[in-house]
Amino acid sequence: MPNFEVIYQGELRCNAEHLQSGSVILTDAPKDNHGKGESFSPTDLLATALGTCMITVMGIEANGLNLDISGSKLSITKTMGTLPRRVVSVEVILDIPDRNFTESEKNKLINIGLNCPVAKSLHPDVQQNIQFNFIKM
């Protein structure tokens, strides 16, 4: 049984449905690749998947350690290359509220984030530039 259904709407737009929840994501080709850029592009979703996967597994780890990382903020920058057109790098800056975490707790969160499933699924040629900032509250 499939997990997702994608319908091409025309004009370089897709409607992707998460079948279990009914949640829908629209994608558009970016303006620099013949599109309207009115929604996430497929490569935007790839970069966003990296950041959201990292913070999600960090949240799972934080829950197990009885830590609160709610309010964490991620800034994600994707860089495209040519010949072939592809994502060459993704920069993720994570600002995590530091609620008096120990160095050991911080290191556990960093390690789990760096080893999230999306990070491990990306081709090694895709440079992952990750910065963790623990912000004192």
Q: Per the structure, how many domains does the chain have?
A: 2
Is the same domain home to 27 and 51? no
Q: Which strands, in side-by-side order, build the sheet including 127-136?
A: 73-81, 86-98, 127-136
* Residue range(s) defining the domain that contains residue 90: 42-136
Q: Which strands, in side-by-side order, build the sheet including 24-28?
A: 4-10, 13-18, 24-28
Is the same domain home to 123 and 83? yes
Is the same domain home to 20 and 82? no
User: Over the Cα atoms of the chain, what is R_g?
Assistant: 17
Is the same domain home to 74 and 55? yes
Tens-digit pLDDT profile for the chain (137 aa)? 999 999 999 999 999 999 999 999 999 999 999 999 999 999 999 999 999 999 999 999 999 999 999 999 999 999 999 999 999 999 999 999 999 999 999 999 999 999 999 999 999 999 999 999 999 97
Most distant pair of Cα atoms in the chain: their distance: 52
pLDDT of residue 42: 97
pLDDT of residue 137: 78
3-state secondary structure of 22: coil
